[in-house]
Structure 1
């Protein structure tokens, strides 16, 4: 009987996916829909996110998709926010902001992010950054032991 139980348990152990932390060190953003899908998978898998460097633009969607208690920042972390814009491939290489895209970004951000953005003049085409310190820690907890 004991061998039969092991035979049922062992395959489940061998095929279950391993959880790993996502460490963000140098992410300048990209396509919003790709980041939404990526962070949704991380949220569903119960993974943690360690922001250990640059997290700009679409990367910051992590703050609204992955639960806050599974995100932390190191002293090297920085967050950068700006208005959404259309892919330059469709705008003849010109940077054209998207009101709809910017509204979508803002809808994902939790209240502490929205408050910081509001206190700093709202989203603009220029990048606004938060570096290590009190402003960042109001949004995301420091990683233990950092």
Structure 2
């Protein structure tokens, strides 16, 4: 048990610590938020549902997503984020949604195609819905340079 003088000194120390943190750490904390980003170098895809969940979090956090390397399959869903930028040397591989055990039923194919194209600029969404989503093996490729020419921010 602390005596009265020790308690007052501890309280004073905590108060001074709080003031120091407020004065000096504020800019440092702002810098951490400013550099709050996700950097993609080699992402070969994965589950559309899991990626959709991740995108919701990234939107909520307003986290910047920088794509610098290979981005295939479900990774291309990052292109629907307002905070994404692409490197000219990045490579994007598009294909349509697939089931674990083969082709999806038509209604599921339509649903997941729309999920994959959500947030894309109209011209890219149109291209995806008319062509890329029908690719069953391999990819249709677009370079980061092509996407920058379509209006995406350059990293």
User: Structure 2 length normalisation: TM-score?
Assistant: 0.67
Residue 111, structure 1, aligned to residue 118, structure 2: no
Identify the residue that residue 76 of structure 1 maps to in structure 2: 89
Q: CA RMSD in A?
A: 3.1
Correspondent of 2:56 among 40, 49, 71: 40
Residue 96, structure 1, aligned to residue 106, structure 2: no
Distance 1:107 1:74, change over 3 A: closer
- Unpaired runs of at least 5, structure 2: 1-11
Structure with higher Rg: it is 2
Which structure 1 residue ranges, 4+ long, deviate > 6 Å from structure 2? Answer: none
Distance 2:15 2:98 in 1: 58
- Unpaired runs of at least 5, structure 1: none
Identify the residue that residue 128 of structure 1 maps to in structure 2: 140
* Residue aligned with 2:128, SS: helix
* Residue aligned with 2:97, SS: coil
Would the aligned equivalents of 2:38 and 2:66 in 1 still touch at CA under 8 Å? yes
Deviation per residue, 1:89-132 (Å, 9 max, x gap):
xx2xxx324523223323443313213436x7342224111013
Residue 140, structure 1, aligned to residue 152, structure 2: yes
Distance 2:46 2:127 in 1: 22
* Residue aligned with 2:41, SS: strand
Shift in Å, 1:57: 1.0
User: Structure 1 length normalisation: TM-score?
Assistant: 0.70
Aligned pair count? 130
